[in-house]
Structure 1
């Protein structure tokens, strides 16, 4: 697997993930351009996210049924056409429908991971996963800035049309850049949809990887959901722009995840998971100092969120490396189970965070983060691990192939 191909696949992840997040920055522009209330325009973001969740469940398992190149090109082409329809939508209802289709089809990043895991040697898998995750992080961060700037200058339709062009160009590039692969499964579609649940039941290492990511991502989501409430409240009295500035600090994770991947290749995912869980606990303690307000509190929030971001993303590299080593013939279905559990944890964390904030304030949110990390840490330390045997088996299968 060449560096050129890794770079192309990382860009694919960035474009696919960016399509989920860029509408968040142009909601007010959509409201003004279509003459609807801002809360109605927010349905565009919701529709995109709902479509993305549906795409993970309904489409990602097909990565084990169809050749990856054909599947990726088809997804990007459909995404480009849906983005084009969104950019030309005459009113809010057609725009919401188009955005739901954008979310449904922009699951390329979840197909790229299993593709890359099958093309790379087991001793380089962590580094490649870390690079792909770096691309996803870059897409998430840059998409908001790109769409906001372009939308301010050219109107809300411009980001959709530009994203459509990117997706269609990338579809052409992947047609020639991605090598041909043989689908590992010939199961019927209904069987593919049911398989992630069966894998959760039969694969202990998949279950614990899901638990690790769901708990850490829940704490991550709780912090970022409540951070805006803290910064715009009485302790700081800042605007929403302050949240965006702190979020930009998370760009450092783009450089940390490839390093975490190399550590996974060298030492295995379990030590990396352990360090990440301890990092989340330390970040909770640092974030708690943010309740003080002032310059010291703001510095604590910046440092704490940075550490939390790095720990969450690096832990994801370790978890995905473990998951992809379990069943080479079912990587897309494994990824469906893993990512669905992770996003369910994030949604639950946002819901819990707001309610804890209402009862106990920022201290309570930080305590929630620490409790969630402690649950994952207890599972990691108290229950025997079976991953090393699975990794050896995967390595032998790779050599035999």
Structure 2
């Protein structure tokens, strides 16, 4: 057995298209549990007789829980059998959704949301697992397919939550989601291939491994930097977009933001293409195109300052390009890091996703302040500066002599 597939199972476990599609669906269902509560915050407030500000803590709890789960649970993907870990996490997620859907007080709902967020990190386990089950020349394409499912879950979650909540009340989305998650756990219990844990490290060593990997792997560091900067610009623009579209320049409702977001569905079809391009041309080339696309998107987004139909068209087109570039860049980044150490893909993904979420959080904070101080043009300038920093670092790496990621010799094992 080659080092590339060491500890992953026999060659017969290579997933076919049906299984890849099922795993992409599972990624979408998993991530949707973080996003659908955002659409029903007003319903929480009315149903539990609390202020909208207090009700919004439900969404915050889910996001904090998700970040915590990435740090504490995703590394277990290198230590435990994937099938068992995935099914247990889905079962906990289902229970959390069930408790949330029957909660009678806000503290119970907040606690259940935090538990659900922490356990619904299954997509971040499925993606590195699947990357380890496919040949090198399919890794980018398969990663892109799973990310397309992830994007679909993000896009449709708010529509699912808002529509069902408006029709049947705020509890309905939780209860329906719980039923779907329990069903998915049963299906994946049979469908996920049998794998052998690639690591025997104890849990404390697993938790410390992402930091050690960041120190040891230059390509992991630059992949994390790329995504943190680009994702920061992405969250800055989306956070500020709500202020722009609902403000006096356009005076539109939040439904307009939802329509602009749905245009981003095109990225579901672009990520598999980015994956195939990564397989053929390498992640560095795809990263370069994506960074240039983000800068171009920032320039197009400046038309939003016009405040008319042309400005709205520019906003929609710019956000579409930005979304495609961010998601396609993620395909390239993850393909790069998954090629570094086959025995530590979950821990590599933990380091990568933690940096991405930290960048996104900082981006939201910076975006609001740029909009407050300089208006929408300031936000576009911020996006271009962040992408420019990533591009500068990328050009330095591209021109530095040395082995490309796919030429790097086998690294030394991670020591606890």
TM-score, with length taken from structure 1 = 0.96
Instruction: Report the Cα offset of residue 390 of structure 1.
Output: 3.6
The answer for the alignment partner of 1:3 in structure 2 is: 17
Residue 229 (structure 1) aligned with residue 229 (structure 2): no
What is the CA–CA distance in structure 2 between the aligned matches of 1:18 and 1:387, rounded to whole Å?
41
The answer for the alignment partner of 2:252 in structure 1 is: 238
Instruction: Report the Cα offset of residue 239 of structure 1.
Output: 1.6
The answer for the alignment partner of 2:117 in structure 1 is: 103
Contact kept, 8 Å, 1:122 with 1:394, in 2: the verdict is no
Where 1:234 maps in the other structure, the secondary structure is coil
What is the CA–CA distance in structure 1 between the aligned matches of 2:177 and 2:81, rounded to whole Å?
25
* C-alpha spacing 1:262/1:349, structure 2 compared with 1 (3 Å): same
The answer for the alignment partner of 1:284 in structure 2 is: 298
What is the CA–CA distance in structure 1 between the aligned matches of 2:260 and 2:157, rounded to whole Å?
16
The answer for the alignment partner of 1:44 in structure 2 is: 58
The answer for the alignment partner of 1:358 in structure 2 is: 372
Contact kept, 8 Å, 1:134 with 1:257, in 2: the verdict is yes
Instruction: Report the Cα offset of residue 388 of structure 1.
Output: 6.1
The answer for the alignment partner of 1:391 in structure 2 is: 406
Contact kept, 8 Å, 2:219 with 2:405, in 1: the verdict is no
Structure 2 residue runs of 5 or longer lacking an equivalent are 1-14, 411-416
Alignment RMSD: 1.3
Structure 1, residues 33-87: CA drift from partner, whole Å, max 9, x if none?
1111111111110110010000000000010000111110111011001111111
Paired residues, number: 395
The answer for the alignment partner of 1:192 in structure 2 is: 206
* C-alpha spacing 1:193/1:386, structure 2 compared with 1 (3 Å): farther
Contact kept, 8 Å, 1:326 with 1:394, in 2: the verdict is no
Instruction: Report the Cα offset of residue 391 of structure 1.
Output: 2.1
Instruction: Report the Cα offset of residue 31 of structure 1.
Output: 1.2
The answer for the alignment partner of 2:218 in structure 1 is: 204
* C-alpha spacing 1:392/1:69, structure 2 compared with 1 (3 Å): farther
Instruction: Report the Cα offset of residue 389 of structure 1.
Output: 4.4
Structure 1 residue runs of 5 or longer lacking an equivalent are 396-401
Residue 53 (structure 1) aligned with residue 67 (structure 2): yes
Where 2:264 maps in the other structure, the secondary structure is helix
TM-score, with length taken from structure 2 = 0.93
Residue 341 (structure 1) aligned with residue 355 (structure 2): yes
Residue 63 (structure 1) aligned with residue 74 (structure 2): no
What is the CA–CA distance in structure 1 between the aligned matches of 2:65 and 2:181, rounded to whole Å?
17
The answer for the alignment partner of 2:261 in structure 1 is: 247
Instruction: Report the Cα offset of residue 382 of structure 1.
Output: 1.6
What is the CA–CA distance in structure 2 between the aligned matches of 1:167 and 1:347, rounded to whole Å?
28
Residue 136 (structure 1) aligned with residue 146 (structure 2): no
Structure 1, residues 134-183: CA drift from partner, whole Å, max 9, x if none?
00000011111111111111111111011111111111101110110010
* C-alpha spacing 1:136/1:387, structure 2 compared with 1 (3 Å): farther
Q: Which moved more, 1:53-62 or 1:85-94?
A: 85-94
The answer for the alignment partner of 1:213 in structure 2 is: 227
Q: Which moved more, 1:95-104 or 1:381-390?
A: 381-390
Residue 79 (structure 1) aligned with residue 93 (structure 2): yes
